[in-house]
Amino acid sequence: MRAMLSETPGGPESLKLVELPSKPLAKGQVRVAIRAAGVNFPDTLIIADKYQFKPPRPFAPGHEIGGDITEVGEGVTGYKAGDRVIGMIGHGGYASEAIVDQGNLLPMPKNMSYEDGAAFTMTYGTSYYALKQRSSYKPGETLLVTGASGGVGLTAVELGALMGLKVIAAVGSDEKIDICRKYGATMFVNYAKEKMRDKVKELTGGQGADIIYDAVGGDAFDESVRCINWYGRLLVVGFAAGRIPSLPANLALLKSCDVRGIFYGAWRGREPGEARKNFDELLAWYAQGKLKPHISMRFPLEKGAEAMNALLSRKATGKVVLTVA
């Protein structure tokens, strides 16, 4: 098997393409021939030892995959060789095959491509958990999404609109507004040239956003928290800008607002039944044509470093995907 390995902490350039022997399956495990793997911001953190957990090296990054089962281990039920599956596996996706615990796989809908499968689990899973379980949303409320054209941001826009929220997409350039409009946003802020606080207040009749979905951190967080509505909910999803911001406690007091953390991977581990229900709903929406991952860039496996750099440079909108021949 081939894999893009992280052998020492570093940036995308530290990844190396190597040939590895296949390992035997343990009880409850499945071997998957990977056809596509999603590229996500946490992948860039995990290889630099800046993520919430640190796998033992060497390891391949890559949280989400789409592929075919080639072998099932002892005790596996409900899957067989030849089944098309998607999975969220923590790490190991930048490779030609992966050994996956059965519980981390889902059957792939018949109308889903491998690339869509690889672009689905982490981003839609994160955003749906944030909005469904953590936001206390009511249809008709206003949702502000920072980094709205990015991987998780665009799924928050799409799901928010589907769930009956009025979506404000905050982006860093006018060019990114069109894709957010296509995915359901009806109001827009370009925070590269507009003050987010003033624009959001203008768009909401002076009230502010009921829900703020922030996966950017840094300056975007600082601005967004100052345009939250009374009883608003600020969802802390990530820190793509690189700076982890601090929140003055008096701001939470003045707006009687909540700050709610979104650690989707840990929640999946603690509440696997609820996480599976979420995915049943998400995959049903996909099968009905109500959800569609936006994949703006594709790279072959051996160009995994280039794929990461495309993500870090913010050249991509929606998802970046690796394809495996």
Residues 118 and 35: their CA atoms lie apart, in Å, by 9
| pLDDT above 70: percentage of residues in the chain | 100
Per-residue pLDDT at 315? 84
Residues 177 and 190: their CA atoms lie apart, in Å, by 8
| 52 confidence band (pLDDT: 50, 70, 90) | confident
Residues 90 and 62: their CA atoms lie apart, in Å, by 7
Per-residue pLDDT at 201? 96
Beta strands in 20-149 (DSSP E): 29-39, 64-72, 84-88, 97-101, 105-107, 142-146
Per-residue pLDDT at 255? 92
Per-residue pLDDT at 325? 78
Residues of the chain with CATH 3.40.50.720: 123-265
Residues 323 and 325: their CA atoms lie apart, in Å, by 7
Residues 67 and 54: their CA atoms lie apart, in Å, by 25
303: which 2 tokens? 């160009």
Residues 165 and 167: their CA atoms lie apart, in Å, by 6
- Residue with tokens 């953390």, as numbered in its chain: 261
Please say if the pLDDT value at position 53 is more than 90. no
Q: 174 or 241, which is more confident?
A: 174
Q: For the segment 64-88, what is each residue's pLDDT rounded down to a tens digit?
A: 999 999 999 999 999 999 999 999 9
3-state secondary structure of 322: strand
Residues 67 and 269: their CA atoms lie apart, in Å, by 22
100: which 2 tokens? 């996956």
Q: Which CATH superfamily is domain 123-265 in?
A: NAD(P)-binding Rossmann-like Domain (3.40.50.720)
| pLDDT above 90: percentage of residues in the chain | 88
Q: Which CATH superfamily is domain 2-120+293-323 in?
A: Medium-chain alcohol dehydrogenases, catalytic domain (3.90.180.10)
Tell me the residue length of the chain: 325
Closest CA to 14 of 53, 56, 61: 61
Q: For the segment 235-290, what is each residue's pLDDT rounded down to a tens digit?
A: 999 988 888 988 889 989 999 999 999 999 899 999 999 999 999 999 999 999 99
Q: Greatest CA separation found in the chain?
A: 61
* Chain Cα centroid distance, residue 276: 16
Cross-strand partners of 87: 65, 105
322: which 2 tokens? 């690796």
- Provide the mean pLDDT of the chain: 95
Please say if the pLDDT value at position 208 is more than 90. yes
The pair phi, psi for residue 155, each rounded to 5°, is -70, -30
Residues of the chain with CATH 3.90.180.10: 2-120+293-323
Query: CA angle, 245 as apex, 265 and 136 as ends, to 5°?
Result: 55
Please say if the pLDDT value at position 309 is more than 90. yes
